[in-house]
Amino acid sequence: MTSIREFVKTSLRFADPRKVRFEYDRFHDSLNFYVDGMVYKNVEPVKPFPLSAPYYVILRVESGKDLCVIRDIRGLDESSRKALEYVLDRKYFIPVIRRVLDITYTGEFFVCKVETDKGVRTFKLRGRRRSVFKMDDKIVLFDMDENIYLIESYEKLDPKSKEELMKLL
Amino acid sequence: MDDKDFKRVLEDGEKLLAYFESDLTRDGRFGCSYLLVTDKRAVVCDADLKVEVSVNLKDIRSVSVKDYIGNAELMVTLKDESVVILTRFSRALRKRFGDASRLLENLAFLRRVRREQVYEEEEVTAKSGTLRSILRFVLPYKWVLAAGMVAGVCGIFLGLLPPYFMKMLIDDVILGRKEELLAQVILAIIATQATSSLLGVIRSYSLSYVSLKAMYSIRIHLFKHIMRFQPSILDRYEAGRLISRITDDVGRVNWFLSWGLEQLLRSSISLISVSAMILLLEPRLSLIALIPMPILGLGVFLFRRKARWVYHYEWRRWADVSALLVDVIPGFPTVKAYSMEDHEAKKLKLKLSDVIKASLRSTKLSLQFFPMLGFVISAGTAIIWWLGGLEVLNGTLTLGTLSAFISYVSQFYGPIWTLVSMVEPMKRSSTAAERIYNLMRMRPEIRDTEDSVDLKIKGRITFENVSFGYLPYTYVLKNISFDIKPGEKIGIVGPTGSGKTTLAKLILRFYDVDEGRILIDGVDIRRIKLRSLRKQIGLVSQEPRLFNDTIANNIRYGKPDASLDEIIAAAKIAAAHDFILQKPLCYDTPCGESGSRLSGGERQRVAIARTVISDPQILVLDEATSSVDTITEDAIKKSLDEIAKGRTTIIIAHRLSTVKDADRLIVIDKGRLVEMGTHEELLRKGGLYAKLWNTQFLEQPAEAKV
Ligand SMILES: Nc1ncnc2c1ncn2[C@@H]1O[C@H](COP(=O)(O)OP(=O)(O)OP(=O)(O)O)[C@@H](O)[C@H]1O
Ligand SMILES: [Mg+2]
């Protein structure tokens, strides 16, 4: 009998971030992955838990197969991490909301003006049920165009932002 | 009536085993008749114990209950094929006569008799119990409550002062020309007002605090209580009714705790104290103040009698409207698919116009009553002005006393008014409290007993002559016996409605069997701790429900402490990993209300992952891959096979290709086990399985070859 824990070992391969290396190939816009003396060209990094565990990354090869898992990419060396994050940051554009400036309700949708780590932005949200999603202390907002915004910690927001957010929650 | 009375019906040496009282006579009138079951006969007699039918048990071939409209019959077929109708009964007694039929059947076939008779818990209510059960939740906050009450009562007494100051102001300061007192009296009035505002704040806050806390505990308690029940509670109570216990009914009780109780107390106290003030101030005039009282009393009495029906009628109209909405709005896609929007709108219009009619009726009623009340009260006040005015003119009464008196009188009618208008909501909230209390008193039928054991399950499952029915007298499973070895892979097939899902539910003990027993590793499941049993059996049900959470959290539901790696591995087993990575937020993607944002097949795969992550010792898959294409199903089968090694696996499926390579197949038809064996054996046998296989093979050649 295989328990799920054992099945993890047979179905997933784990790479030690200290023993692997990434290189970004600007010419081909591809990410190269060096492990055990081998090089995999054009690997595709995927964050299976982009919000709840943003440092957990699966590397996939072109055929769509999982190559291996890096449990915490913060263990990578400086330049590898930069290369990897360059690709990931383009793929996962999830602005983190620092302050909520204003929320108004038009009777049909909410208009939110926020200050994010990527700049100030105004976007529209359809009702509360479909577009606001709470995960523990995190809040994820899906706007009408399916863009995603993240509030990393509701508790840590300033009082003014919290008060604005109350219109929405 | 006790057993003694039945003696004269019995023959010598005959033993009465049970008797069942019906509410209909055999010729179909309301009345009483009895079915006596003895060790030899079934005897039916009327209310005067005159024997109407008598049947020897050994002549009985079969027993059945026929369900008609508004009533039902218990009948037996005798060995000579003749049919004898034993009793008729209204549907209220279905369960009782279901038991009777089972007892007769058991006796007729000389099987063991279980002499316990389970009657439905009657919904009797003990008023004192209701109040006590609610107050239990208030008790932890008794000091806050007391503070609120004290503040309230003090406020009432303070409220008695201003009219008195007014009297001083008019008689002594203004008419008596004592200017030096003016500032003091005014200050006293202001101080009194300030203090009573403060007391008001304390009172309102502490009472809200207590009622909110109490509501919280009642809701949590109710929720936990409901969660202790077996799933079959949903057969008896619809989900909507349970939800409304927790939300609406608790809210109505809240009205009583946060508002009603206080008003009751305040109004009574102020009524008493104001009466005292009136009497002290001017006993003669107070008699006049009492004149409207009998009229008011009569009015309230008449109003209550009528209002009760009128208001209840109105609430029920509202209930109809919300029932319609609860039914139709989630079924919106169906309405659309059949273009029945107009039809539904028409239904709603009808219901809403009923509401209007009912509301107008209650409005009319209160218009008959409340203006009359108001008139009587103002007439009373006018009379006091008149008589009091005369006395002031005659110099037998001071103007100050008169105006204080008038002001007290208005304080006197205030509480009466409040008490009168509280009658209806009080009634509503006490009914709600009763309903909550009844639910709290219900005990789950399936629960651990003192000798329940924790069992480390190896995976042997034995059914011994198991029979079961959802309704008391219709069998869904009949006399099922089989033995599954640990680690065996069993397929269960059979026509739709044959009882496969029911069988799976019995293994998890969602219901208890009516006859026979189910053993796991040789232990009767009724002796295994429910938690221990259900933790080690993984069920992927036919209509899996996901919760409104992320995919990852839905998978984690099967094992709250699962690591991220395990979540991914479980998803891989269920062939869900790839589709999950296609979602914008991968495993962090919300599934929507009950999984509505995933497709049917995706939902099934997440459900499989949720089950396999918990490492169950016994795995039951009820049509778990029915909505998945055959290629994906094959992938799931392969990986499941790998992890299922050493675990008992039961696979229920219509698609025979899903189960054909099981170690053994069990074929169920109309609740009976009709065939058992391997795919090849059953094909060779040429029975029901072979028939099903051939139909599927001919219809879907591509699939069957897999
Ligand atoms: N909760 C219930 N209350 C009353 N009767 C029920 C209940 N659930 C199922 N039944 C009845 O029991 C019988 C067996 O149902 P069951 O769900 O076990 O069939 P099944 O073999 O799983 O059918 P299918 O292949 O369609 O899933 C059916 O006639 C069904 O109507
Ligand atoms: Mg079924």
Q: What pLDDT is recorded for position B109?
A: 64
Closest residue in chain B to residue A5, using alpha carbons only = B566
CA distance B83 to B277: 81
What's the mean pLDDT in B104-123?
48
Residue B472 covered by a domain? yes
Structure tokens at B217: 């505990």
Q: Is the pLDDT of residue A168 over 50?
A: yes
Q: Is the pLDDT of residue B63 over 60?
A: yes
Q: Are residues B403 and B464 in the same domain?
A: no
Give the number of other Cβ atoms within 10 Å of residue B447's Cβ. Answer: 11
What's the mean pLDDT in A13-25?
89
Residue B612 covered by a domain? no
Q: Is the pLDDT of residue B122 over 50?
A: no
Residue B386 covered by a domain? yes
Mean pLDDT is lowest, of B152-161, B229-238, B675-684, for B229-238
How does pLDDT run across B408-439, given as a tens digit for each residue?
A: 888 787 888 788 778 777 777 877 787 788 78
Radius of gyration over every alpha carbon of chain A, rounded to an integer in angstroms? 19
Q: What pLDDT is recorded for position B128?
A: 61
Q: Are residues B211 and B308 in the same domain?
A: yes
pLDDT tier at A47, thresholds 50, 70, 90:
very high
Q: Are residues A129 and A161 in the same domain?
A: yes
Q: Which of B208, B701, B142, B133 is nearest to B442 (CA)?
A: B133
Beta-carbon separation of B550 and A52 below 8 A: yes
pLDDT tier at B2, thresholds 50, 70, 90:
low
Q: Are residues A159 and A139 in the same domain?
A: yes
pLDDT tier at B704, thresholds 50, 70, 90:
very low
Q: Are residues B468 and B411 in the same domain?
A: no
What's the mean pLDDT in B178-190?
85
Q: Are residues B337 and B369 in the same domain?
A: yes
Q: Are residues B295 and B364 in the same domain?
A: yes
Q: Which of B325, B299, B208 is nearest to B258 (CA)?
A: B208
The dihedral sign for the CA sequence B563, B566, B568, B570:
negative
Beta-carbon separation of A50 and B590 below 8 A: no
Between B221 and A131, name the one with better pLDDT.
B221
By the 10 Å C-beta count (0-12 exposed, 13-18 middle, 19+ buried), B367 is classed as exposed
Give the number of other Cβ atoms within 10 Å of residue A17's Cβ. Answer: 21
- B576 in Cβ contact with B608 (< 8 Å): yes
Q: Are residues A9 and A82 in the same domain?
A: yes
Q: Is the pLDDT of residue B121 over 70?
A: no
The percentage of residues in chain B with a pLDDT greater than 90, rounded to a whole number, is 17
How does pLDDT run across B678-689, given as a tens digit for each residue?
A: 999 988 888 888
Residue B161 covered by a domain? yes
Query: How large is the ipTM?
Result: 0.88
Atom of ligand 1 nearest to the CA of B654: 25
Q: Is the pLDDT of residue B3 over 60?
A: no
Q: What pLDDT is recorded for position B506?
A: 92
Closest residue in chain B to residue A66, using alpha carbons only = B578
Q: Select the residue from B488, B547, B587 to test the A interface by mutation, using most A Cβ atoms within 10 A.
A: B587
pLDDT tier at B657, thresholds 50, 70, 90:
confident
The percentage of residues in chain B with a pLDDT greater than 70, rounded to a whole number, is 94
pLDDT tier at B123, thresholds 50, 70, 90:
very low
Beta-carbon separation of B550 and A135 below 8 A: yes
Residue B76 covered by a domain? yes
Give the number of other Cβ atoms within 10 Å of residue B613's Cβ. Answer: 24
Q: Are residues B100 and B145 in the same domain?
A: no
Between B101 and B667, name the one with better pLDDT.
B667
Structure tokens at B371: 């203006």
Domain boundary among A46, A73, A91: A91
CA distance B225 to B492: 35
Ligand 1 pocket (Cβ < 6 Å) reads B 235, 470, 476, 494, 496-502, 542
Q: Are residues A11 and A68 in the same domain?
A: yes
A-chain CB neighbours of B552 within 8 Å are: 49, 52
Q: Which of A121, A100, A124 is nearest to A111 (CA)?
A: A124
CA distance B113 to B77: 20
Q: Are residues A75 and A133 in the same domain?
A: no
| Count of residues in chain A | 169
Beta-carbon separation of A66 and B570 below 8 A: no
Q: Are residues A13 and A28 in the same domain?
A: yes
A-chain CB neighbours of B562 within 8 Å are: 4
Q: Are residues B391 and B257 in the same domain?
A: yes
Give the CA-trace dihedral at B213, B217, B219, B224, to 10 degrees.
Answer: 160
Domain boundary among A91, A114, A138: A91
How does pLDDT run across B438-451, given as a tens digit for each residue?
A: 788 877 778 888 88
pLDDT tier at B249, thresholds 50, 70, 90:
confident
Owning domain of residue B688 = 447-536+661-706
What are the b/e assignments for B408-435, b being 16+ CB within 10 Å?
bbebbbebbbbbbebebbbebbbbbbbb
Q: Which residues contact B285 (CB under 8 A, 6 or more apart)?
A: B278, B384, B387, B388, B405
Q: What pLDDT is recorded for position B706?
A: 41
Q: Are residues A84 and A56 in the same domain?
A: yes
In this complex, which of B570, B572, B587 lies closest to A49 when CB atoms are compared? B587
How far is CA B120 from each of CA B117, B220, B302, B443, rounded to the nearest angstrom?
A: 10, 26, 38, 12
Q: Are residues B476 and B490 in the same domain?
A: yes
Q: How far is A132 from chain B (nearest CA, A)?
A: 10
Q: Are residues B287 and B404 in the same domain?
A: yes
CATH number for position B207: 1.20.1560.10
How does pLDDT run across B509-534, given as a tens digit for each residue?
A: 988 888 899 999 999 998 899 888 98
The dihedral sign for the CA sequence B446, B450, B455, B461:
negative
Q: Is the pLDDT of residue B142 over 60?
A: yes
**What's the structural domain count of chain B?**
3
CA distance B565 to B571: 10
- B514 in Cβ contact with B467 (< 8 Å): yes
Q: Are residues A80 and A11 in the same domain?
A: yes
Residue B237 covered by a domain? yes
Domain boundary among A34, A59, A91: A91
Q: Are residues B274 and B371 in the same domain?
A: yes
Radius of gyration over every alpha carbon of chain B, rounded to an integer in angstroms? 36
CATH number for position B687: 3.40.50.300
What's the mean pLDDT in B493-516?
90
Closest residue in chain A to residue B486, using alpha carbons only = A1
Q: How far is the CA of B541 from the centre of ligand 2 (A)?
A: 8
Q: Are residues B262 and B163 in the same domain?
A: yes
A-chain CB neighbours of B577 within 8 Å are: 66
Q: How far is the CA of B473 from the centre of ligand 1 (A)?
A: 15
- B660 in Cβ contact with B679 (< 8 Å): yes
The dihedral sign for the CA sequence A151, A154, A158, A161:
positive
Structure tokens at B436: 């909550």
Q: What pLDDT is recorded for position B236?
A: 67
Q: Select the residue from A49, A72, A92, A131 to test the B interface by mutation, using most B Cβ atoms within 10 A.
A: A49
Mean pLDDT of the residues in chain A: 87
Between B324 and B603, name the one with better pLDDT.
B603
Owning domain of residue A157 = 97-165
Mean pLDDT of the residues in chain B: 83
How many CB pairs lie under 8 A apart between chains A and B?
80
Domain boundary among B387, B415, B441: B441
**What's the structural domain count of chain A?**
2
Q: Is the pLDDT of residue B670 over 90?
A: no
Q: Are residues A86 and A108 in the same domain?
A: no
Q: Are residues A63 and A9 in the same domain?
A: yes
pLDDT tier at B116, thresholds 50, 70, 90:
very low
Q: Which of B626, B588, B573 is nearest to B604 (CA)?
A: B626
Q: Are residues A123 and A51 in the same domain?
A: no
Q: Are residues B63 and B196 in the same domain?
A: no
Q: Are residues A103 and A139 in the same domain?
A: yes
Atom of ligand 1 nearest to the CA of B505: 18
